[in-house]
Chain A
Amino acid sequence: MNIVETRVLGKRYGSTWALRECSLEIPAGHVAALVGPNGAGKTTLLNLVVGLSAPSAGGLAVLGGHAPGSPAALDEVAFVAQDTPLYKNLSVSDMLHVTRSLNRRFDQGYAEARLDELGIPAKRRSGKLSGGQQAQLALTLALARRPSLLVMDEPMAMLDPIARHDFMASVLTAAADDGVSVLLSSHVLAELERVADYLILLSQGRVQVAGEVDALLAGHRLLTGPSAQADSYSERPVVHVRRAQAQAHLLVRASADDPIPPGWESHPVGMEELALAYLREPRASALPGSVGRDAEPVTVAR
Chain B
Amino acid sequence: MTALTALPGAAAMNRDGVVPPLPWRRMTWVTWRQHRVALSGVAAFLGLVAVYVWLTGLQLHHAYDAALACRPASSLTCGESSSNFKGIGQILANGFLLQAVPALIGAFIGAPLLSRELETGTFRFAWTQGFGRWRWTLAKLVMLALAVSVAAGAISMLFSWYYQPYFAAANQALNLAQSPSLTPGLFDLRGITFAAWTLAAFAIGGLAGMVIRRVVPSIVATLAVYAGLAAGTGGLLRQHYLAPVVTRSLNIPGTAWVLSAQWFDRHGRPVNQFLLGQVLQHGDPQLAGKGGVPKSFSTWQYLLHHGYTQLTTYQPASRFWPFQWIEGGWLLALSVALIAATVLLVRRRAI
Contact = CB atoms under 8 A, between A and B. Distances in A.
Interface of A: 1, 3, 27-30, 47, 50-54, 63-64, 66, 69-72, 74-79, 81-83, 85-90, 94, 97-99, 101-105, 138, 145-146, 148, 175-176, 179, 181
Contact of B29 (A52, A63, A71, A101): A101
Contact of B127 (A52, A77, A99): A52
B349 A85 contact: no
B149 to A, nearest CB: 24
A70 B8 CA distance: 16
Chain B interface main SS type: loop
A212 to B, nearest CB: 12
15 contacts: A1-B3, A1-B5, A3-B4, A51-B349, A53-B349, A53-B350, A69-B133, A71-B18, A71-B19, A81-B125, A87-B34, A98-B34, A103-B130, A138-B125, A148-B4
A71 B132 contact: yes
B21 interface: yes
Q: Size band of the B side of the interface?
A: 35 or more
A53 B130 contact: no
A105 B351 CA distance: 27
Contacts of B90: none
Given A50-B128, A85-B120, A97-B29, A28 B8 contact: no
B51 interface: no
A76 B8 contact: yes
Interface string B1-22: 1111111110011000011011
B71 interface: no
Contacts, number: 129
Interface string B64-87: 000000000000000000000000
Contacts of B133: 69
Given A85-B125, A103-B130, A145-B130, A98 B30 contact: yes
B7 A47 contact: no
Nearest to B3: A29
Contacts of A29: 1-4
B13 A102 contact: no
Nearest to B2: A179
Contacts of A77: 128
Contact of B129 (A27, A99, A148): A99
B22 A102 contact: yes
A30 B1 CA distance: 8
A148 B130 contact: no
Nearest to B128: A79
Nearest to B20: A71
Interface in B155-213: none
A176 B33 CA distance: 35
A276 B127 CA distance: 35
B9 A104 contact: yes
Given A71-B18, A71-B19, A176-B1, 11 more contacts: A52-B128, A66-B7, A74-B132, A77-B128, A81-B125, A81-B128, A86-B122, A87-B122, A102-B129, A103-B130, A104-B12
A90 B7 CA distance: 32
Chain A interface main SS type: loop
B112 to A, nearest CB: 12
B349 A69 contact: yes
A63 B1 contact: no
A102 B349 contact: no
A204 to B, nearest CB: 22
A164 B113 CA distance: 34
A141 to B, nearest CB: 8
B122 A85 contact: yes
Contacts of B5: 1
A98 B21 CA distance: 17
Given A29-B2, A54-B349, A83-B121, A64 B7 contact: yes
Nearest to B348: A54
Chain B CB count within 10 A is highest, among A50, A85, A88, for A85
Given A52-B351, A104-B22, A90 B128 contact: no
Nearest to B125: A85
A137 to B, nearest CB: 11
Nearest to A72: B19
Given A71-B19, A75-B9, A101 B3 contact: no
Query: What are the 7 closest A-B residue pairs judged by CB atoms, nearest first?
Result: A81-B124, A102-B129, A103-B130, A85-B121, A79-B128, A71-B19, A54-B349
A181 B19 CA distance: 21
Given A29-B4, A97-B29, A102-B131, A72 B124 contact: no
A76 B128 CA distance: 10
B136 interface: yes
Contact of A79 (B2, B124, B348): B124
